[in-house]
């Protein structure tokens, strides 16, 4: 993927994707390409619905392991590969919820709303844009939002003032907003 690609989280062309899937059926090591192309959207889809980060990671891992194991059964019918992965994710989440709901005697929530797919795309794009921020902004964003560290803690780790870290946080979010807007226009 080129660094300047304007719409990084969108699927590659249908024909390209079909060829990669066919290649991966013959040689499962080619699955790595499908993983790279789809990781962010699957994780985004799952994370929004999972109770916590550990569950999001467990379910995401389950989705890709199931997909790899069942790739031979995937039939190309024109729908993107991502739709199949998100269906596996919906099923995996539903299984977990049903299990938990049975234990607690509660109904399980709905997973199949198509709006949620668009939301996964948006979040996947955001994840990719974070990867393109300057190193110091990227580090602040990851430590603040992924590691949940305080401004003070990050300032100490980076040997910067708290004001400087707040400014990096602000600039990073401004930059993400601008890029999201560019892509959506």
Partner 1 sequence: MSDEARIDRLARALEAILADPRASRPPADPELADLLRIAHDLHDLPRPAFKARLGADLLRRATMTTAVGKPAGETIEGVTAYLAVRPAVELIDFVKRAFGAQELMRTFGSGGGVHAEVRIGDSKLMIGGGGAWGGTPTPTGLHLYVPDADLIYGRALGAGAESLYAPVDQPYGDREAGVRDLAGNHWYIATHRSGGHVPAGLGTVTPFLHPRGAPELIDFLKQAFAAEEMETHRGPEGAIAHAKIRVGGSVIEMGEAHGEWGPMPTMFYLYVGDVDAWYRRALAAGAVSLEAPAVQPYGERRAAVRDAFDNQWYLAEPAASRSDPQ
Positive or negative CA dihedral for 63, 69, 75, 81? positive
Residue in 126, 132, 160, 183 binding partner 1, rule: CB under 8 A: 126
By beta-carbon proximity to partner 1, the closer residue of 54 and 78 is 54
CB under 8 A: which stretch of 8-16, 63-71, 91-99, 105-113 binds partner 1?
A: 63-71
Residue 84 near residue 66, CB atoms below 8 Å: no
Q: How near is the Cβ of 79 to partner 1 at its closest, in Å?
A: 22
The residue written with tokens 């305080």 in the block is 150
Name which of residues 4 to 33 contact partner 1 (CB under 8 A): 27-29, 31-32
Cβ count within 10 A of residue 181: 9
Interface segment toward partner 1; rule CB under 8 A; list 15-23, 88-96, 108-116, 141-149? 141-149
The contact pattern for partner 1, residues 64-103, with x = CB under 8 A and - = no contact, is xx--xx----------------------------------
Within residues 143-182, the interface with partner 1 by CB under 8 A covers: 143-148, 151, 156-157, 163, 166-167, 169-170, 173-174, 176-177, 180
Does 41 bind partner 1 (CB under 8 A)? Our answer is no
Nearer to partner 1, 18 or 142 (CB): 142
């Amino acid at each position: 993927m080129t660094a300047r690609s304007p719409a990084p989280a969108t699927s590659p062309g249908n024909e390209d994707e079909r060829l990669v899937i066919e290649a991966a059926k013959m040689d499962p090591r080619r699955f790595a390409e499908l993983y790279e192309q789809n990781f962010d959207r699957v994780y985004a889809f799952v994370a929004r619905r999972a109770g916590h980060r550990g569950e999001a990671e467990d379910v995401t891992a389950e989705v890709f392991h199931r997909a790899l194991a069942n790739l031979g059964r995937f039939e190309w019918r024109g729908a993107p590969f991502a739709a199949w992965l998100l269906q596996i994710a919906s099923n995996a989440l539903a299984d977990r919820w049903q299990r938990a709901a049975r234990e607690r005697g509660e109904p399980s929530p709905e997973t199949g709303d198509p709006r949620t797919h668009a939301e996964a795309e948006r979040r996947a794009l955001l994840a990719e844009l974070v990867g393109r921020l300057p190193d110091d902004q990227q580090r602040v964003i990851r430590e603040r939002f992924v590691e949940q560290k305080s401004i003070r803690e990050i300032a100490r780790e980076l040997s910067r003032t708290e004001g400087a870290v707040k400014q990096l946080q602000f600039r990073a979010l401004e930059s993400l907003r601008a890029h999201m807007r560019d892509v959506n226009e």
